[in-house]
A and B are shown apart, each in its own frame.
Chain A
Amino acid sequence: MKARIGLEIHCQLTTLKTKLFCGCRADYRKMDPNTNVCPTCLGLPGSLPRLNGAAVKTALLIAIALGCKSPDVLSFFRKNYFYPDLPKNYQITQLDIYGPACVGHDGQIKVDDRDVRISRIQLEEDPGRIVYSGASEKNLETLVDYNRAGAPLVEIVTEPDMESPRDVRIFLNLMHDMLENIGASDASLEGAIRADANVSLEGNNKVEIKNVSSFHDLEKAVGYEIMRQTNNIENEIEIDKETRQWDEKRRITVSARSKESDTDYRYFLEHDVPWIEIGNACDMLRKDMPESIATRRQRYTAEYGISDQVAEILSSQQYFARIFESARTDENSRELANIITTDLMGLLETRQKQADSKLGSAELGRLVGAMMDKRITRTSAKSALQSMVRDGRSFDDIVRESGLGTVDDESKITELVGSVIDSEPGLVNQALASPKAVHYIMGLVMKKSSGRADPEMVRKAIESYLDSKRNDAPDQ
């Protein structure tokens, strides 16, 4: 029986500086509770929402990236319900029930070989955060922090076009990379992306899965839910239309005794926020739209001859793709791509490290050039790169000061080989008998040169040394 899975993804627009409707910080993380608040995001009497224009643009950018249509004019609605994390006891959000008014609708995105349709994208405010604290499970206090209240959030709703947990994983990863790529969100920040799923088996009721803390768990929850529903159907047990929650400890979904069913949200127009005429904003945004990951990946393989695997890694992260593009020449593409994906990504694995990096792309180009000309070895390059990232020193300075330049003087290498063999004379006979010992000698020579000796020349020097020994030996 085919499963139909749809997703609702909540993504904070973390690249913005302020909340959706006030001048408080969008980045509420690592703050003392209730210090990032003002009359508006606390819903004090008389306060009014003041829409962040940049949030509208960023949301439209997401709509464009997901191939959505946008209406000429946007409007906002109130979703009314009481909850302690909601300062006004309504949430300002968007809705399409009276005609298109959300930032985007009817989009489509390719996920592997299938199309996933996007129903709509709506811009809305995040609620505050509830934390439970107390000595025992029984005596938990319900505490609320409004620092997050009003943070700019985009909800992306898909049609139920996915069929397996694997589809869900691929889709979420794609979404994660896309949001980062267009600069809408730093998706790796805690709580920046949350997703709910709905699962149904053909012809049966739909079950919503909520409050799953990670993508990984959502994949598991969807898998569990398909299994549970399949079992029920096999045993002729009807599937309830309900909301279920993922129990992290037991790794199952449990019925949430839905509060949804008895809540009437009384949606209606939010008149405190004016209608927003989009005008040519979408055209302008489309013009400045970063290249999509898929297009970029294809370009890297087709035009630069980079392997598919490397291109995939490189294209999905805009930060590295940008460095790559600006340091790239017609000659260095493959070498540059390799050093970025193997060495640089390891050095700069977090956004913070990327922000702190002092590496300039021109310097990176110089380093790759030196590698290609064999003026520096791979090992030396790696240690130079570290220093360039950390201190921002120029490549030439590093080579000059620490002598990382490749040793490619034939006489010097011959001398090195000689001194290594002199220190362990027994090696010669072993080497004559087995190529393994040749590699061992090579290793010793490289070590002695601190990795600077040109490996090819070293091999040749060893070979010629051994040849001379073979010639010296009496014929047998």
Chain B
Amino acid sequence: MSTDLGITLAEYVRGVASGEISCEEYVVATLDRIEKHDAKLHAYVSVDADAVEAAKGVDAAVRAGRDVGALAGAPFGIKDNICMAGTRTTCCSWMLEDYVSPYDATVVDRLSGSGGIVVGKTNMDEFAMGLTTEFAAFGPSLNPWNTECVPGGSSGGSAVAVSALECIASLGSDTGGSVRNPASFCGIVGYKPTYGRLSRYGLVSYANSIEQVGIMARSVEDVGIVMNAISGEDKMDDTTRRDVRSGADHTPDHIADIDGGVEGMAVGLDVDSFDESTDVGSAVRRAADAFEAAGATVTDVHIDHGPSSVASYYVLTAAEAGSNLARYDNLRYGYDMPQEGYEYNAYISRARSRLGPEVTRRMILGGFVPSAGHAGKYYLKALKMRDALSAQVDGVFADGNLACILSPTVPVLPFKFGEKIDDPVELFRMDSNTVLANLTGRPSISVPFAMSSGLPIGVQLTGSLDSDAQLLRIANTIHASSESKGAPQL
């Protein structure tokens, strides 16, 4: 009997608990599938064959009647910028080609603590800078729906792995849409929580003021199950502490009300974010109709997606990246490069030339925009733009008493490799809908809603700060009316 790898995490957990599913069989089948397809798809940059041993342990525990945790041995993919003790964490950069972290990221620790099994580390744009995985140092991942198309990024590998049934769910990171964008392009659910809800301890920083670990899965409920397992305050990350002003609880139950529906809720349709004459735009309109059919009221809202938001995003991320990546000087850890014949500056400059082209450009931007002579024109303005945007969105939510706003996740369908990579500004535009949630700290989720020309279209829902559980409930409702079902044929 062949194992059905296409089930959801919720179904898997129930199956393991009832004895219908063997964890070992499921994990072995997953590894077989990786073996069979991943040479082409390249979702993973490293695979852990020991996962089978862990899976045997789960089955033994089930037989013995012991608790196997909320994740019951489910196989996960973890983005390669999230640290796992004893395995390589390369950020898909030649700079960290052989880097092995001495510790587990909190999210990995909690995932394992709840019984999750990590089958491998997933591909990404180098240091998460990019949205196609074309900037991955060890080669791109391919979109399983059409391998001539990009899978989105930067968490492209995590999305491909879930979509191509090479794991049940995965963790990515979302700095400006890096979880939602590839989720949309690969036809799965991708969720970025409220800033501070998931620990960043062990997530290699790119733009630390706005990024979060994100969850990718085949259903919204699965996202909730994983959230329940890994979210909440962490003593290793001070930004997960409760804000004295909001006092919001960071560990509510994310699945208890997930089937509660949207009756009576107000959804803001972000009408400036799409063009209804496109396939993506008409899909969003149909999603709005589906909300109304489910009992929500939909009102048009206007939010500034203009270039100034995206510019603000790129200025802030460049400045922070310039600082966060400064530590890669190859002195304390890194790759072999003898020091003989080099003076300090020459050595680290030479060593850092291993950073890929996009990262190099961001480093230069990162040196430029917050520098003494230019901070006023770029960095400080970007900060103020972020503040202004927060205030504007707060106003829109308050005015319409909104539960969330609806937009496309990405304004276009998945595109071909090489199509946009040479035009940085063209790539900037792909982020215009997703960066809002990062700049304002809000939770946001991409849900697969439609198909066009055999390619998935995701719609994005963005909620209020700390409304994560409610946002998942809304997303679950719209996912139920999704026109897109099933996995790609490989």
Contact = CB atoms under 8 A, between A and B. Distances in A.
A90 B91 CA distance: 21
A267 B320 CA distance: 11
Contacts of A80: 322-323, 326
A267 B236 CA distance: 25
Interface string B230-247: 000001111101001000
A272 B332 contact: no
Interface string A30-70: 00000000010011111111110000000000000000000
A82 B367 CA distance: 12
A330 interface: no
B379 A44 contact: no
A268 interface: yes
Given A274-B238, A277-B244, A82 B204 contact: no
B322 A46 contact: no
Interface string A239-277: 000000000000000000000000011111101111001
B327 A43 contact: yes
A272 B326 contact: no
A129 interface: no
B181 to A, nearest CB: 22
* Contact residues on B (Cβ < 8 Å of other chain), bracket: 35 or more
A88 B327 contact: yes
B203 interface: yes
A44 B370 contact: no
Contact of A78 (B239, B244, B323, B331): B323
B208 A271 contact: yes
B367 A39 contact: no
* Contact residues on A (Cβ < 8 Å of other chain), bracket: 20 to 34
A87 interface: yes
B83 A46 contact: yes
Interface in A135-173: 142, 144
B160 interface: no
A82 to B, nearest CB: 7
A89 interface: yes
A468 B332 CA distance: 91
A360 interface: no
B367 A274 contact: no
A50 B319 contact: no
A50 B370 CA distance: 25
B487 interface: no
B101 to A, nearest CB: 7
A39 to B, nearest CB: 6
A223 interface: no
A179 B202 CA distance: 37
Contacts of B326: 80, 82, 88-90
B209 A50 contact: no
Contact of B367 (A48, A90, A266): A266
A82 B352 CA distance: 13
10 contacts: A44-B101, A44-B103, A47-B202, A48-B200, A48-B238, A49-B238, A50-B237, A266-B367, A268-B319, A269-B209
Interface of B: 81-83, 89, 91, 96, 99, 101-103, 105, 200-205, 208-209, 235-239, 241, 244, 319-320, 322-323, 326-327, 329, 331-333, 344-345, 348, 367, 370-373, 375, 379
Given A45-B204, A46-B105, A272-B208, 7 more contacts: A43-B327, A45-B101, A82-B326, A88-B327, A266-B375, A268-B323, A274-B238
8 nearest A-B pairs in the assembled complex, by CB-CB distance: A271-B209, A89-B326, A46-B202, A45-B204, A266-B370, A46-B83, A43-B327, A264-B371
